[in-house]
Structure 1
Amino acid sequence: MNTNFEEIIDLSAIGKHNPIKNNDIFRLALAENLPSANTDEQKVLFIGIDFQNDFLENGELAVPNSHKDVENTLRFLYANLEKITTIAISLDTHNAQQIFHPSWWVDQDGNHPEPYTIISEEDIRAGKWSAVERQEESLEYVHQLEQQGRMKLCIWPFHCIEGTFGAALEGQFSNMIHFHSIARKSPIYKIVKGKDPLSEMYGIIKPEYDKNNYVNNELLQMMKGYDKIIMAGEAKSHCVLESLRQILEHFQDDVDFTSRIYLLDDCMSSIPGFEEGTETSLKNFKNSYHINIVSSKELTL
């Protein structure tokens, strides 16, 4: 490849305004003479989960160590540009008025909850917290979450508000994946998630609860066509973990498929306080589904 890493990436700008213009990236990519992704004998899918500004260290919902995660991801993508067939990305996309944001709820004195408050069904029935609007639907959502037995409603800082800088792809990650897209003639597969005001959507396959039972069957079908599926992103403890869980639950009877999944452990970090449960879940997934948890520096494509 003719283009140097430093022509595509400015590491000092991770999580900040991107000083490199899109058209300069496209011009460099067009000058390459790389084989089309359609000719790849081994089909490799890279899935980047929520590499967005609000999850970077200066963002509204900052994940510690995320700048290093991005750097490791960029170096991995660059080193394997000619071997990665397709890049898929997810984009957490919200409005200010959503069930997991402080504006949705008030206490008996009219105060909104602080970020990271957990709201239970018992709290709502006792009058500790009330939805500002859509009270019955809000109670039903929290009830359904608890019936599933895995999650309770967590109030998050306002983040990834559609149209804001925080919701945009991190600039250097954007440079790299668009360079790949042009140089390898491979369209980026974009997954927009989290726009339903009455549901959380950590994973890329389906919301935590949705009365319409939405499932991204198109993505599940697409994934079956790849020999290796590589995942990285933020946060390890939430959107990466739940995306992985949803994929594994769907393909739970197909270990041949699940063993094709590679998680880049040095390209993702957890939200503080959730580390232990995350590592336990990943260990169980590895034992049950034979997924691969590896360093980006060790994985050979």
Structure 2
Amino acid sequence: MSEITRRTLLAAMGGLAATSPFGPAFAQGEFPNRPIRLINPWTPGGPADTVGRPVAQKASESLGQPVVMENRPGANGTIGATFVARAAPDGYTLFFSHVGPIAISPNFASGLQFDPIRDFTPITQLVSGPIVLVVRPDVPARSVPELLELAKRQPGQLSYGSVGPASTTHLAGEMLALMGKVQLLHVPYQGAAPVITDLLGGRIHFAFINFSAAIAQAQAGKLHVIAVSTPRRSVKLPDVPTVAETLPGFEVNSWYGIMGPGGLPRPIVDKLHQAFAAAIRSPEISSALEAQGFGIEATTPDQYAQKIRDDLRRWGELQRATNIRIG
């Protein structure tokens, strides 16, 4: 074979690889053939690490390549989201997705550099993350109807704390006020610890707070858990009703999942879904996370895509009703 003919053949083969319908990862060899980065948009040591790191390790075993969690925090999770949105759709850069940057910020924040639908490919929702509605012991309400009745008798005087503006803990209170047709006083804090401190100190009346932040105080009888924010009751608190049992349609779900950049080829999506869904369902991981209040989901890519669309609609309706904006 002449050198010219050989070069022509190699060029043609390269062109076929570049235009492979399954994407460059499949054209260049079986996926995955190198480590995968899982971008965590939150700081190390938080709830995202609690879910993400064991799942990444377990998924590594079935994928045959390391899945390395890399923290890129900032701007309510949108810095990490922007990084993944701009990555190549080859399966080697994934997003440890969360309701905040994917469904809340697109409705409440200005100047985002990504579109949550166009720029991402859903792979699986790993878990649901309920937040719990807690009241201090001297507040005469042990149910959502009783809390709403108390708020109606004291318009604008019943106060609730949150971990910051437009956080799930803030917006849960706004949704409760809107759907319950009451006026509440929002008191923002920087983190869960001062919310708990002021609840125990009698300076605020109630709060929506992460399960892990409230459960120890609740078990000690210092706070009362009267509801959970997700549509289904918590496995850990089966006797505690959902807010939706009083206000149908109420849902504040601090979920986590796995997404890739937009345009990720379906064969890669399916392989990643199989690995991550199996990881979250593994007995050692699922039991540990359920003990911390998480609900195991392991949804299909299509189910996760629908969940994101539903949440974008729900949070959009709340934004339009409250006119809350951040950034």
Q: Same fold (TM over 0.5)?
A: no
TM-score bucket of the superposed structures, by smaller chain: under 0.3
Q: Point out the structure with the larger helix share.
A: 2
TM-score in terms of structure 2 length:
0.26
Q: Larger Rg: 1 or 2?
A: 2
Q: So what's the TM-score if we normalise by structure 1?
A: 0.28
Q: Which has the higher strand share?
A: 2
